Amino acid sequence: DERVDERQNTNSQFLITIPGHVTAERRDYETILRTIRNQLQLRKSDLIIELLGSPRGESGENILQQCKNLKQDGWSIITHEDWISTEEFDKRIQAADAILAPMRRTKDISVVTERYGISKGSVCFMDAVMHGKPLILPAHYEVPARFEPMVSQYDTESRLAAIIEHMINS
């Protein structure tokens, strides 16, 4: 497998990167953190999760606090307090084994409700394509046909855990 050779993640742990500002408004970190806690306990030593973005507001700070609690419980979680330069962002995406984009179904903007994958796009596809990384998305996100081969989708914690397990094993 060509990807194994270009993997910059030098240890044997599988690195999943979640790009973007850390905020509960746009992304569903709760499902991710619950999945880690409840479904992937036996993978604690095999997995690194990186939140590749700075926290936004109270919800972002709350998410980072939950990550600190998971770290104290022995999980490898990388977080960033400050803005990440484009150069560093690209380097971190390149080091990832997979990109996880836990987009919420909708985002309210003033009186308009944007629907991710329909009226509102995401840069995650570009990041995944540019860096040749598999992409993990929620099932509600409508994936353009040309991206389907590189995308795995989940609708439950157990499905997300199964996708991660499969990626670690292959």
Span 105-143, pLDDT tens digits? 865 555 555 444 444 456 788 888 889 999 999 999 888
C-alpha distances (whole Å) from 51 to each of 24, 92, 112, 142, 143 are 13, 10, 28, 23, 23
How far is 114 from 105, CA to CA, in rounded Å? 9
pLDDT tens for each residue of 54-84: 999 999 999 999 999 999 999 999 999 999 9
Mean pLDDT across 148-153 = 94
Q: Are 48 and 78 in contact (CB under 8 A)?
A: yes
What global pTM score does this model have?
A: 0.85
